[in-house]
């Protein structure tokens, strides 16, 4: 008899290696969402452009910042934030939405985590297009630090996997997690330096940004796009956060995996 730990790890691993399935699922999600629309997935890019342009204009005046500096900052921040926040918001329902599949065939739960990440990564790429245009247009000086964006993406997607595993399992049992998570995410947006630059904060409150994991996750993507390396602190804090979620989610999943199907 295999232990529940091996069975849980098997599920996660077999789902991850079933890349054909989750790539198709993720791609199909995007295609279906924009089927019968003229612009298709480029609506994602367009709405990003509209948000950044309108907010950039208004808030650069509000914060008395030069638009040339504020716009790339805002665009990079929004790019990272929309990637992170949508994944967190979709976490509670990853397994609930998988209901029609998992009750028909034996299919590893982690396939649906990978599906959610794939889908959002495709959206991320469409948004990235706008940021690249802004960067080129405003001639932001990009350097070799841009490669660190890959490491940042890996940390973000790795964290999303475990957050999804944790929240997805919890929400299957207690459907309260959906509203909890969405209001939490909303608060995070305003409490993190995405619209407002961290430098505007009085130094004695700097800790608020320094120990805010969301702020540090955002900087993993935004900093390289603005031409500098993310800080060592950002990596330390985000990787620690990821490990905490990995541990918590695995502990929960090992215990609940067998019963999860009955909760859906």
Partner 1 sequence: MASIELHNVCLDFPVYGMVSRSFRKDLIRISTGGRWVTPASGKIVHVRALDKLNLKIEHGDRIGLIGHNGSGKSSLLRVLSRIYEPTQGNLRIEGKVYSLLDVMLGMDPESTGHENIILCGLIHGLTRKEIRKKQNEIAEFTELGDYLSMPIRTYSTGMQVRLAFSIATSVLPEILILDEVIGAGDASFIEKARNRLFEIMNVSEIVLLASHDLNILETACKKILWLDAGQVKLFGETKFVLDAYRSLNINTIPNEVNDDSV
| Residues at the site binding partner 1, with contacts judged by CB under 8 A | 1, 20-21, 24-25, 28, 32, 35, 100-107, 173-177, 258-259, 261-263
In the complex, the smallest distance separating the C-beta of residue 2 from partner 1, rounded to whole angstroms, is 11
In the complex, the smallest distance separating the C-beta of residue 213 from partner 1, rounded to whole angstroms, is 23
Tokens (6 digits) for 36: 């019968």
Closest CA to 230 of 155, 161, 162: 155
Nearest CB to partner 1, comparing residues 59 and 263: 263
Burial class (CB in 10 A: 0-12, 13-18, 19+), 51: middle
Nearest CB to partner 1, comparing residues 64 and 106: 106
CA–CA dist 52, 32 (Å, integer): 26
Residues 6+ apart with CB under 8 A from 5: 254
Nearest CB to partner 1, comparing residues 209 and 252: 252
Nearest CB to partner 1, comparing residues 29 and 227: 29
In the complex, the smallest distance separating the C-beta of residue 111 from partner 1, rounded to whole angstroms, is 9
In the complex, the smallest distance separating the C-beta of residue 16 from partner 1, rounded to whole angstroms, is 15
Nearest CB to partner 1, comparing residues 118 and 127: 118
In the complex, the smallest distance separating the C-beta of residue 264 from partner 1, rounded to whole angstroms, is 11
């Amino acid at each position: 008899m295999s232990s529940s730990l091996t069975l849980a790890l098997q599920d996660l691993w077999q789902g991850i290696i079933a890349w054909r399935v989750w790539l198709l699922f993720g791609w199909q999600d995007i295609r279906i969402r924009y089927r019968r629309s003229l612009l298709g997935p480029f609506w994602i890019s367009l709405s990003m452009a509209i948000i950044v342009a309108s907010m950039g204009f208004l808030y650069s005046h509000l914060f008395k910042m030069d638009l040339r500096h504020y716009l790339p900052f805002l665009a990079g921040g929004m790019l990272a934030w929309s990637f992170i926040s949508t994944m967190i918001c979709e976490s509670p329902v990853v397994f609930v939405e998988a209901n029609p599949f998992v009750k028909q065939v034996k299919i590893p739960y982690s396939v649906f985590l990978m599906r959610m990440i794939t889908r959002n990564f495709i959206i991320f790429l469409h948004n990235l297009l706008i940021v690249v245009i802004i960067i080129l247009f405003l001639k932001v000086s990009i350097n070799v630090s841009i490669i660190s964006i890959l490491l940042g993406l890996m940390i973000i997607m790795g964290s999303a996997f475990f957050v999804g595993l944790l929240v997805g399992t919890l929400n299957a049992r207690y459907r309260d997690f959906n509203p909890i998570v969405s209001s939490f995410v909303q608060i995070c947006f305003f409490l993190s330096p995405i619209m407002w630059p961290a430098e505007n904060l009085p130094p004695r409150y700097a800790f608020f940004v320094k120990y805010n994991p969301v702020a540090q996750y955002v900087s993993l993507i935004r900093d390289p796009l603005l031409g500098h390396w993310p800080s060592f602190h950002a990596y330390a804090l985000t990787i620690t956060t990821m490990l905490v979620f990995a541990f918590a989610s695995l502990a929960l999943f090992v215990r609940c995996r067998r019963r999860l199907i009955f909760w859906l």
